[in-house]
Structure 1
Amino acid sequence: MAQPLALDVAAHGEATGWRKGEHLIDALAYIDPLSQEEKAAVDALIMEELKSSTKRPQDYLKEMPALPDFNLEGHPVLKAEYERVKAGQPMAQLDTTRYRLDEPPLNRRNDVAAWKAALDNAHSQLEHQYNRLLNLELLLQFGPKAWQAHIRHLEVGHKRLEETLVETRRAVEAVNRERKVVQLQAQSEMADYESRWAATVAKNREIEAACRELETHLASLRQQLPGQDAGAEKDPFGVREGVGEGGNHTGANGQASEMDES
């Protein structure tokens, strides 16, 4: 895929996305001169345009593609949570009774089933504490090595990201360097075309001035001819050929000659 060297060229009104309906701006940043005063004026125009713009930041989200539909079939817990968030309902409070060693209430002190449930809860809490002690022992025995391995993994990932960053910066510099070279080459070509255009315009103006001078000179010569009708129709090009009154012949160079009578 070729690297971009300039803005995408599209006819006005044919651009899509965030540039839809906007005036297209194309600039050659490496060769277009821009003084500090001009930059300040441009920034002022941009701020003024932002103040008068009817487009808000949230409008840009409308131009982005829609999110895919969520398929929560087979996930009843996620579906229930999604419906709760969608309805704006608060999250249910966590039940912490299983983490407490509560004895049966006063009205159930003589209930064997209540005491059995409290005893089962005590056994669960004891097993949980035993698991915590095992995890602490495992952490003391293998934790440092596990953390060292995790740190080495993070270091490898960090190094890989740094290499990716260096490659990306190198690619950006290559694109900017290529843009600069292409624009500098285009600058000489554009300057040549501009000088040729200016020379052609100046030459055309000189030709127009010479034509007007020639027309004035031909008009004065025509008036000097004997028997010249002052009201005769003028040649639109200032050149008239043919036989005039009195047997005079006017050529393309404005010279009059006597014709031989036969």
Structure 2
Amino acid sequence: MELHPFLDALPYYEKWYQEQDRGEAMQLVEAEVVKSGGIRLPKPSPDDFTTPFKISERMQNAVQAAGRGEKLQSIDINRYINLQAPGNPGSLIQSAVALEYLRSREDNLELLRKHGESAWMNHIGSLEETLQNIEREIQTTRRETQACNRKRKHYQMEIGERLADHETQFSNLLLNSIQCRVAIALANH
């Protein structure tokens, strides 16, 4: 009797099913199909309930070797006995370069782990000091700019007053000159 592999593998399936049970189940299914207006199912063959399992070639060889009474090797260790360097001499040099790069990177990471925090804090401190120096320079430059602007304004005001005085004197001189010419012109007539 062929057993269904999926049913046999279920942990809660405790007893073997009988052909009589299968026949009764199929009769119930066929009766239900007829009631619902469906088509009648063909009678299943025992091959329908078996799943073909394909065994790999390596597993078949192992089964045959076990059948001949040979001891099975769990691991083939021959490939680990005669080791040879892969690739060519150039790849060996590349591997050495990569190894040195990784060692250098590891050294850098270790230095960063040991001294990174203090170096970072020192850098932040120097940046803060630079910022304070720049702020002081900005304040000094603003004061000097304001003083320069005041001096320029004072100079412009002073020059403006002198210019206004000179314009007044020039206009008075021009007016006096015109009056003299008019007087001379009237005196000559």
Q: Taking structure 2 as the reference length, what is the TM-score of the superposition?
A: 0.51
- 5 Å matches for 1:217-232? none
Q: What residue in structure 2 maps to residue 202 of structure 1?
A: 175
Q: Is 1:156 equivalent to 2:134 in the alignment?
A: no
- 5 Å matches for 1:1-262? 115-216=88-189
Q: Distance in 2 between matches of 1:204 and 1:132?
A: 95
Q: Distance in 1 between matches of 2:158 and 2:124?
A: 50
Q: Distance in 2 between matches of 1:171 and 1:178?
A: 10
Whichever structure has more helix as a proportion of its residues is 2
Q: How much has 1:136 moved relative to structure 2?
A: 1.2
Letter in 1 for 2:128: E
Q: Distance in 1 between matches of 2:96 and 2:161?
A: 88
Q: Percent same amino acid among aligned pairs?
A: 29
SS at match of 1:160: helix
Q: How much has 1:177 moved relative to structure 2?
A: 1.1
Q: How much has 1:148 moved relative to structure 2?
A: 0.8
Q: Distance in 1 between matches of 2:180 and 2:89?
A: 117
Q: How much has 1:172 moved relative to structure 2?
A: 1.9
Q: Distance in 2 between matches of 1:153 and 1:200?
A: 69
Gaps of 5+ in 2: 1-84
Gaps of 5+ in 1: 1-111, 217-262
- Provide the alpha-carbon RMSD of the alignment: 1.8
Q: How much has 1:125 moved relative to structure 2?
A: 0.8
Q: Distance in 1 between matches of 2:183 and 2:123?
A: 88
Q: How much has 1:182 moved relative to structure 2?
A: 0.9
Letter in 2 for 1:139: L
What whole-Å deviation, never above 9, does each CA across 1:115-167 have from its counterpart, x for those lacking one?
Answer: 33322321221121122122112212211111110111111112112222222
